[in-house]
Amino acid sequence: MAGLQQLTVLSGGMGGARFLQGLRHGIAAGRLPGVAADAEVTVIANTADDLWLHGLKVCPDLDTVMYTLGDGIDTDRGWGRRDETWSVKEELAAYAVEPTWFGLGDRDVATHLVRTQMLDAGYPLSAITEALCRRWQPGVRLLPMTDDRVETHVAVPDAESTSGRRVVHFQEYWVKLRAEVPAEAVVVVGLDEATPGPGVIDAITDADLVLLPPSNPVVSVGTILGVPRVREALVATTAPVVGVSPIIGGSHVRGMANQLLATIGVDVTAGAVGRHYGARSQGGVLDGWLVDESDADQLPGLHEAGLAAAAVPLYMTDPDATAAMAAAAVELVS
């Protein structure tokens, strides 16, 4: 056998992008057992973080994946363009135009201008993403989970409102409020009516292996799984499905995933997140789940839940370490 040819990854932004970087590195170096050196990677990216800002369509997770794999990312921040300047943002603030909290860089604005112009001309987000990727050459096929408008909103406490709460866009919760107030509910507007983007269902059905990177289980992978027919495709695919825990030792590594897990009633442990996704043999979406070596005590509970599971180092410190994680994920289900 020539080895596994088609790998499909369900990705959010930073965690997903870093994992993809290591996965690509591992494939090129021939370090993934049973995976062909010319294997193709398809990425189904979360678009529920997308927002309209000053008349521009901004797609944070698509752009993080595209910039990271296209070597345009600011590696220190983990989002946005390298060598960025902020004149547009400063000028908008000087006009006192809201919102002022979003990191809209000058170089980044060009991406949003191209995208918005193409949307105005009638192109779907999937075609626009393909066009943007012609410049960035991310080395993967990057598919938005849907071409439809889907937005994650978060209910937060608000003493001044009669209901005692107010609802903000996920980006406002994450970036402006720094996820420091309790999220009382997560509502993904438009998700139930969304249609999977072109190629999304086939990418799962025709895959040789499906990977869930250590992306946020609620607002990244959770929203992708909520697109109608995506969960069913995962349940039905002949490909093994294996995931990597974004939680290590009871905490997210980077980011702010803790708060939102609590909101959906899932404990902040690697084991609880694996069981939340669940084993395909028991109505879930996974065959295997990797936890960090420090979380080895979670393995018996995962095995009991019907999952193949192993404990290996899960810090994505560099592409080599991340490639080793990807290799362990492949090994778990081969």
Binding part of the chain for ligand GDP, among 5-13, 90-98, 127-135, 301-309 by CB under 6 A, reads 5-13
Closest approach of ligand GDP to the CB of residue 37, in Å: 26
Give the nearest distance from C-beta 164 to ligand GDP in angstroms. 28
Among 61, 63, 108, 147, binds ligand GDP (CB under 6 A): 61
Neighbours of 143 (CB within 10 A): 25
255 binds ligand GDP (CB under 6 A): yes
Task: Out of 316, 323, 329, 330, name the contact with ligand GDP by CB under 6 A.
Answer: 316
Give the residue carrying structure tokens 């799984």: 225
In the complex with ligand GDP, the residue whose CB is nearer, 61 or 74, is 61
**Region from 134-142, 146-154, 200-208, 247-255 binding ligand GDP, contact rule CB under 6 A:** 247-255
Tell me: does residue 253 bind ligand GDP (CB under 6 A).
yes
Choosing from 57, 81, 252, 276, the residue that interacts with ligand GDP (CB under 6 A) is 252
Q: If binding is defined by CB under 6 A, does position 237 make contact with ligand GDP?
A: no
Say if strands 51-53 and 56-58 run parallel, antiparallel, or are unpaired. Answer: antiparallel
Where are any strands of DSSP class E within 46-191?
51-53, 56-58, 141-144, 151-157, 165-169, 185-189
| Contact between 74 and ligand GDP per CB under 6 A | no
242 HSE (CA, 13 A, CB side):
22
Q: Which is nearer to ligand GDP, 63 or 147 (CB)?
A: 63
Nearest to 109 by CA among 79, 84, 77: 84
Write down how long the chain is.
334
- Of the candidates 272, 219, 206, 239, the one whose C-alpha atom is nearest the C-alpha of residue 16 is 219
Task: Kindly tell me which of 118 and 246 has the beta carbon lying closer to ligand GDP.
Answer: 246
CA dist 135 and 148 (Å) reads: 24
Residue in 162, 126, 163, 152 with CA at minimum distance from that of residue 43: 126
Between 45 and 156, CB nearer to Ca ion: 45
User: Which range touches ligand GDP (CB under 6 A), out of 33-41, 92-100, 271-279, 309-317?
Assistant: 309-317
